[in-house]
A = this chain, B = another copy of it.
Amino acid sequence: MPGSPDVHRLTRDDRRQRSEAAILAAARQQFADAGFERTTIRGVASAAGVDPALVMQHFGSKEALFAAATRMPDEPVWGPGTSAADVPRLAIEEVLDRFEDEEGRDTALALARNCLTHPSATTAVRDDVMCDRISTMAGVIGGDDAELRAAVLNACLMGVTIARYLLELPPLASASREDVTRLLEPALAALVTAPDAD
């Protein structure tokens, strides 16, 4: 193919990185579509065009492969100038972006699909993804209930993404992004500013 580098000229390190990337992409897709239990090293190897022994040599176990395939990039969306009023829109955008972006989609789906049945995914979703978001968001919201408001807000967003992208619940699954945002934003705004307890 013109323009593509000759595979035989690649260094050993380049080849290793290429096969790792192919294995991780195949793993992400199978964990996202079929779930942890039904995903096999053999199936991932076949989709990546490599030998199953190579998958084991790179990652050691299905568990370690899952952890490597679902590592989330750190992408802070909250700048120093973010105010409580920005929280609903930014939070919706961040979550919908993640599920609708071609590159991040399989990672998000693999974590969400497995978070209720697989211990590693439960920990990753709760401790690495949601607790971090809640703590940052609570700092922006402020006030006594800030942590609980942020937790409920993120729980609602998680429910909307699960219903839309995994359960494919009608008519939420087929609604436009704009319509989802238009209805959801005032609800999340009410969570950020709901009245305090008596």
List the interface of chain A (C-beta within 8 A of B): 35-37, 112-117, 122, 125-126, 130-131, 134, 145, 147-149, 151-152, 154-160, 162-164, 166-172, 175, 179-180, 182-184, 186-191, 194-195, 197
Contacts and interface: CB of A to CB of B under 8 A. Distances in A.
Prevailing SS type, chain A contact patch? helix
A187 B116 contact: no
B163 A151 contact: yes
A148 B155 CA distance: 19
A187 B188 CA distance: 6
Report the 10 A-B pairs with minimum CB-CB distance, sorted nearest first.
A159-B159, A155-B163, A156-B156, A151-B172, A35-B117, A186-B190, A37-B37, A190-B190, A158-B159, A187-B187
Q: Tell me the number of copies of this protein.
A: 2
Given A116-B166, A156-B156, 11 more contacts: A112-B116, A117-B117, A134-B169, A147-B171, A148-B172, A152-B172, A155-B156, A156-B160, A159-B159, A182-B197, A187-B188
Contacts of A170: 131, 147, 151
Contacts of A160: 152, 155-156, 159
Contact of A179 (B122, B175, B189, B197): B197
Contacts of A147: 170-171
Contact of A168 (B114, B117, B126): B126
